[in-house]
Each structure stands twice: as structure tokens, then as C-alpha cells.
Structure 1
Amino acid sequence: MVTNSAAQADTNHGLQRRLMLWDLILYGIILVQPTAPMPPFGVIYTTAHGHVVTAILLAMVAMLFTSFSYGRMAQAYPQGGSAFLYVSKELHTGLGYVTGWCLILDYVLNPLICTIWCARAAINFLPHVPYPLMATFFAVLFTALNCRGVETSARINRGMAIALGLVILLIIAEAIHWLLQLNHPEPGFFTHPFYDPQTWNTSGLLRGTSIAVLTYIGFDGISTLSDEAVRPQRDIPRAIVLTCLVTGILSSLEVYLAQLIWPRGASFPDVDTAYVHVAQRLGGPILFLIVNGTLLLANMGSGLASQLGAARLLYAMGQDGALPRRFFAQVSSGARVPRNNVLLLGSIALIGALSFSYELGTELLNYGALLAFMGVNLAAAVRAIRSDARREWPSILFALGGLATCCFLWGNLGRLALSVGTIWAMGGILLYLVRRRHTHLP
């Protein structure tokens, strides 16, 4: 409970504590994006041999364990909200550094996969434009806007969240109408999205589940609102767990309806934008335009914001000495943005969009995320054991469950993603050793 003096201090000198539990949950859902399973739907469908719902639900189990660990760590460190902090404090500075380094991979790859998806979605409108030209256009667009310091406002972000919510409601309403018109569905029609004996493949499902983790990434951002929550010690952990639960249920509904609508075993015109073609089958050209256009704008906003966020992270590391200060810690005189970092990230997005598939990009992004989640779960388990192992045994079991499931999903990523991700992680370890030698880190 916030005392009067504390509340007065918040009002006069800092952030105001106004956010209740449902405010935090709504923020988390917006952060994750309610349409999160739509862009990777085709990739998960192909990899999991049609079992997208099952993959989403299995990924939710791992994320619920992990969200519980994040909630516990947010209680212990209310002023911070990063896997880097939790691992550094509870385990070792070096492990925390490597955890942070793996999370950088997420920041770097998010604008890359947004570039790929935006290019594919734009080609749905302009089919005669070659993909390399369209990918170049979006990579240059994101970079140019960020170099000029153009940012999306909170009002635009809220408006986009509302638009995405309306799209979901429209799809659900159209899907229900479509199902009501269905005559004599084949046996097992309503259960095949969960289990289809003709296409079941365990290894494919597990790999699809490791990709489906992308649906939940971002829930940990709730922990950054500790200073604005009315009851942070109670509500932050609950909001993190409930956000994962609500996201899993909503995502499962979205992909379940899509699987019912799309003909069983049929291929997609374009795997990367498969959900848009489901919308076209459901509601014709109008729904196709609405869904494709809305998701395109949402991914443009995400790509623009994630590129600038990654540039600022590299800038902070440059200031800290973790990266060469002369290049990464420079700020342009006009727009006051870390232009060198923006240009570097734009180049990576362009090269990656022309050489990576959307599937590889998502798997690499999840490589870093799953490693960070493993670190948080291990940190939560160690903290519980140190405090009182007998009384904290439920927390220990949840943390170890999250560690095991995340480790299992991480091991089921594609071989190429594991190879490239491991090279990145080894680079982080090497960088830490060099930095430790010159700055006397523990």
C-alpha cells in the first residue's frame, strides 16, 4: 500500500502511481501486440505441419513458467526490469553480460524481420515489384526516418493498438459467420488444428513451438512500470503472468480460426504473409486489404521503433565502454540521434533481408530471447534457494520448469539458427573477456 507521504513524493518529484492491475495487463498486451501470431502464422504452420494452435499453447507453458520467474525477480529488484540485471545480481556479472549480449541480438534482428515482412506485405499490393527492391525500400525508409529523429508518438501507438484490436474482432466475427454457413464438416474438422494424425510430426511441432515463442516476446516490459504501479509488489508479478496467459488464449483463438478456414493441407501463395491470404479466403478482397494494410502499418511502426531502440542500446554500450566509444557513442548534431548506429543497423537489416528468410530471422531472434529467459529462470531459482529453500519450493519448481522448457525449445531451433546464434554468443564472451582485462570487471 502506498502511504500518503510516498504518494505525495511521487506527485511532486517523480512518476505518479496510477496504474492498477488491469492497466498493467492492457499495457503488456499492447506491448506484445494482440496480432502477434499473425505475421509468423505461415512459418509456424509449415514447420509444425499444420499444428499452429498446439505450438502456440506449448510455447505458452514455457512462457508462463518464465513469466512467474520474471514476476519474482521484479519483486526483488523493482527499480530494474532486465534479464541482464537479474542474472548479474544473482549469478555473475559475466553471465549477466552474455545475457545482455544475447538480448542485443533480439534488438538487431527485430528491424530485420520487420523489413522482410513489410516487403512481403507490400508486394501483396504491388505484385510486379521485385522483392529485393521492396526490401531495400523499407530498409532505407526506416534508416532515413530514424536518422532524422522521426518517432511515432504515444497517440499513434495507441491508435494502432485500437486498430489491431478492431481487426481481430472483425476476423472473429467473419469467422463465426463463415463457420455457421458450413455444411456437414468432415469428421475431426474442429480438432485437427490441435491434432491431425495424418500430418503429426513431433520434431516439426517442437521446432514450430520454438518459433511460436515470438508470439509472447515483450511481456517482460511490464516490469519497467514499477514506479507507476499503485501496488507494484503485488500487481507487477500478476500482470506479467496474466499477460502471458491472455496472449496465449487470444493467439490460440486467432490461429485456430485461421486453420479451420484454410483448406486442410493446402499451401499458401506466400508463407510469410499466410494470415493475410486466410483473411482473403474468409472475407474476400475487402478483408484482405484491411488485414494486409493494418499489419503492414503495424510492422512498419515496429520496425521503425525497434531500429531506434537498438541504436540507443548500442549508444549506451558505447558510452559504457563495452563497444568502441569513437563509433558507437557519437550523436548527430542536428537530430540528436546516434546516426552511426542507425546506419549500421540499417545496413544489417538490408543485408539480412536480402539473404535471410523470415523463418531464419525469427529463429535467431528467439535464440537470444530463450537464452535470456533461461538466465532469468536460473536466477530466480538461485534466489529462492538462497532465501529459504523449504518455504520457497513452489518458486524453485516454477523456475526450474521454466529453465527446462526454455532450454528444450532452444535446443529445437534450426541448426543454422543455432550455429549463427552460437557464433554471436561466443563473440559476446570474447568481448566480455577483453573488456574485463581493460576495465577490471569482476
Structure 2
Amino acid sequence: MEKTQVSFKKMSLWQVVILGVAYMTPMVVFDTFGIVSGITDGRVPLAYIFALVAMLLTAFSYARFSRQTEKPGSAYTYTAESCGAKAGFFVGWCSLLDYILLPLVNALLAGIYLEAVIPSVPYWMWVTLFAGLVTLINCFRINFLANLSLVFVIAPLLLMVLFIYLVIRGVGEGQGYEHVLTLAPLFNGDSSILPLIAGASILCFSFLGFDAVTTMSHETQDPKRTIPRAVMLTTLAGGIIFLTASWFIQLYFPSNVRFNNPDEALPEIVLYVGGALFQSVFLCAQIMNTFASGLATHASASRLIHIMGKDGIFHRETFGQVHSKLGTPLYAVLLVGLISLTAIALDLATVVSMISFGALIAFTAVNFSVFVKFYVRDQQRHGMKNIFLNLILPFISVGVIMCLWFNLERSALLFGCGWLSVGIVIFLYKKLKKQNIVIGNAY
């Protein structure tokens, strides 16, 4: 490891967007459909519209900050620069929770899928193989990762197009709604709003890719121009994919009554639509999609650890350096790989419930930081445009995210508070250590 940065070819706009979309795992819409359809009474596409609006508001806040600085770090950096280092530390610590758990989720899902395809190989071995391969690829330059992610994103999306074709053929022939051209997936007679908000609170965390791309500023061409555009394009691309897929699934399945297990509806959805062979092919595509997401989430998590290492939150000599030949934060990459291996001993429900806390902390902090930076500190408060952009819109965004807070599961809240408590202990320890060093130097 060397302390100096080495010049490498940096990513273009489309490469950053591909990584952001890969981070989102587009085919997750099939995994969550059964759950959200039950919550919203068959209005999953409308819940996605609610979620997309909420995420676009927050993405706009991220984009505004990324125009102001080339420094990466996502909510951690933006909060620290606006509200101070202490606030930045706690937001970064909470954000780190979902960053390091998402690679673990992908390793866990890959183990489940691969064991279903080849049951003769034990689950723990699949998890080890998946985590090891993802870690190895992440050791190399980010351009290689972005180009590889493109392959693993495009293939499942093409299969999704085939799925839509099969749905169009099946609708009106005794399956789902009578016609393809109907607004029933949005308006089926149920006018209640609270179930839609509850559904959107689950779906919002499918959009985390726009947050992740902001951690890659140092590896991107012209970051002040590229990153803001990538943030908005990633959010829109994810929203379009999710909305389109959920629309056609809802056409075929007006409710979730046909599913034996709504919490894991993907195998049943593709079996009913395309038969056993299509189900097998689709499951292979899902494995590819999980691999793409694993690559992207691993990259983002290691970059955030590297950024926090450079700032001295983690050991600077270990995590704050970039490898001179590979051009990557090698030790941060390896640490994320080790954490991913713990998927061997965890279950999906437990891990997923932990992720939402950190994401909501980050979204709330960034929206509020827009108000602090632009309205309070920079005093951009003259004229209706500034008042709207720097005062009204940030608080609307915070209000929307607060609606999601009210739907946070109790287990996620308790675990998140426990994680925050660990952060407080680390913060107090580092502060005390710093004071002792100052006192020692004085003597």
C-alpha cells in the first residue's frame, strides 16, 4: 500500500449509472411483489409511484450536494460539511449499517438460489464461493467492475422483457385482468392511502443505488457534472424498471391469493406465467442479477469504509489508503468480504430488517442538510426560487421520509438503536483518546 493516489482511467456517466442500477437489483420487484400486493390490496404499481416520488425528492438533495463537492462519502460527507463533523460521524456510522449488510444479503440470497439449483452442494459452500468471487473482482479497478456489471444487468432485463411478453399473451385468456389496456393495477376501487404508504416504505429501499453512486466521485470523470446526473438517472431508471415490471405482474395477478407463499412469490410468479422451463431460466437470471448487485454493493461499502478511514474514523493506515497497483481500497474490500461470510450463520428476514434504519437516517440527514447548508449557512434565501429550493422542498422531503419512519418495523428500530449505541461508544473513546494525547503533549 502507498499513501499517494495513482492516476487510473475513471468511469463515465453510463458506467456509474450501470453500477447504481446493479446496486438496486432490478429483479427484486419479483421478490417483494407478493408481500406488497397483500399490504396494498393489489396496488403495487401505485405504491411504487409513491416510493419513486419520495426517492426523487431525496435524490435531488443528493444531486445538489454532489454539484458542490468532488469529495465522495454520500450522506456522511454531506452532513459533515453542513452540520459538523460530529453529526457527520453519526450519520456515516448509521449509513454504514445498510452499506455493509447489503453485500451480506446478496451472499445470503445467492446461497439460497444456488442451493435450490444444485442441492448437492451445501449452502455454506455457495456463500463462501460467492463472497470470495465478489471480493476478488472488487480488488481490481472500478472500470472492470462497471463493465462486468453491465453484462449481469442487461441479461436479466432482457429476460424481464420476455416475461412481459408472456404476460401480455396470457392476460385476457383466463389469467388476471381481462385487458392489457386498463388502469386497474393503479385504481382497483380501493381508495385507502395508509396501505400505499406502508407498501412504499418497503419498496423505497429498492432505490438505494442513487445513494451508492455518490461514494464513487474520486473514480468518476468530471464528478461535479457526472455524479448529479448519475444520481437522478439511476433513480429514474430504477423507478421505470420497477414500475413497468410490477404493472405487468399485477395485470396477471390482481391479488396475491394464488401464491402459496406470498413472502417468496418469485418462483410461483414465473411458474404460472411461463412454465417450469421458464422458471429455471428465470432463476438463473436472478442469480446473475444477485451477482451484479453483490459486485456493486461490495464496491460501495468498501468505498465508504475507505472514506471514513481517510478521515480517521477507522484506522487510517489500513483503510484510508489505495493500493498502488490495483487502484482500489484493498483492505476495505477484504473487510467487506469477511463480513459477507457471516451470511452462513444468518437468515434473510433478520438481515433485511436491519437495513432500513441506516437508509432512513441517511435520507433524513441529507434532506435536512440542504436546508442547513444553502438556507442557513450560505444564506440563499432571497426570492421565491431560493425559498422553495432551500427551505420548503427540503422540509417536504423530510416530511415524506418521516412518513416512512412511522412504518419502520420495531425489530429494525431496536437493532438500529443498538448499532447507534456502539457508534456513541466509539465516538466517546476516540474523543477521550484524543484528549489524552493533547494532555500528554502538554506535559
Superposition TM-score, scaled by structure 1 size: 0.79
Cα 1:96/1:29, change in 2 over 3 Å: same
- Secondary structure of the equivalent of 1:37? helix
Aligned residue number for residue 206 of structure 2: 215
C-alpha contact (below 8 Å) 1:327/1:340 kept by paired residues? no
Aligned residue number for residue 87 of structure 1: 79
Cα 1:124/1:53, change in 2 over 3 Å: farther
C-alpha contact (below 8 Å) 1:211/1:363 kept by paired residues? no
1:104 paired to 2:96 = yes
C-alpha contact (below 8 Å) 1:62/1:406 kept by paired residues? yes
How many correspondences in the alignment? 416
Aligned residue number for residue 432 of structure 2: 437
Aligned residue number for residue 375 of structure 1: 365
**Among 215, 237, 250, the residue aligned to 1:246:** 237
Query: 1:11-410 residue pairs with structure 2 within 5 A?
Result: 19=12, 28-122=20-114, 124-125=116-117, 133-134=122-123, 136-145=124-133, 153-154=144-145, 155-179=147-171, 181=173, 185=177, 190-196=182-188, 203-223=194-214, 224-225=216-217, 228-229=220-221, 232-233=224-225, 236-262=227-253, 264-303=255-294, 306-307=297-298, 310=301, 313-314=304-305, 322-323=313-314, 337=331, 341-342=335-336, 344-353=338-347, 356-357=348-349, 360-386=350-376, 387-391=379-383, 392-396=386-390, 397-410=392-405
Cα 1:205/1:124, change in 2 over 3 Å: farther
Cα 1:144/1:221, change in 2 over 3 Å: closer
Cα 1:82/1:308, change in 2 over 3 Å: closer
C-alpha contact (below 8 Å) 1:149/1:337 kept by paired residues? no
Following TM superposition, by how much is the alpha carbon of 1:64 offset from its aligned partner in structure 2, in angstroms? Answer: 0.9
Deviations 1:126-154 (A, max 9, x none): 5x779xx52x2333223444676776843
Deviations 1:32-75 (A, max 9, x none): 34434233333333444433222211111111110111111111
Q: Look up the equivalent residue of 1:372 and give its one-letter code.
A: A
C-alpha contact (below 8 Å) 2:364/2:398 kept by paired residues? yes
RMSD value, Cα: 4.0
174-183 or 404-413: bigger deviation: 174-183
Unaligned runs of at least 5 residues, structure 1: 1-12
Following TM superposition, by how much is the alpha carbon of 1:89 offset from its aligned partner in structure 2, in angstroms? Answer: 0.7
CA distance in 2, matches of 1:94, 1:363: 26
CA distance in 1, matches of 2:18, 2:50: 23
Following TM superposition, by how much is the alpha carbon of 1:238 offset from its aligned partner in structure 2, in angstroms? Answer: 4.3
Aligned residue number for residue 9 of structure 1: none
CA distance in 2, matches of 1:158, 1:188: 31
CA distance in 2, matches of 1:317, 1:27: 21
Following TM superposition, by how much is the alpha carbon of 1:162 offset from its aligned partner in structure 2, in angstroms? Answer: 1.7
Aligned residue number for residue 4 of structure 1: none
Query: 1:417-428 residue pairs with structure 2 within 5 A?
Result: 417-428=412-423
Q: Look up the equivalent residue of 2:275 and give its one-letter code.
A: G
Q: Look up the equivalent residue of 2:125 and give its one-letter code.
A: F
398-407 or 306-315: bigger deviation: 306-315
C-alpha contact (below 8 Å) 2:155/2:285 kept by paired residues? yes
65-74 or 295-304: bigger deviation: 295-304
Q: Look up the equivalent residue of 2:389 and give its one-letter code.
A: S
| Identity among equivalent pairs (%) | 25
- Secondary structure of the equivalent of 2:171? helix
C-alpha contact (below 8 Å) 1:99/1:375 kept by paired residues? yes
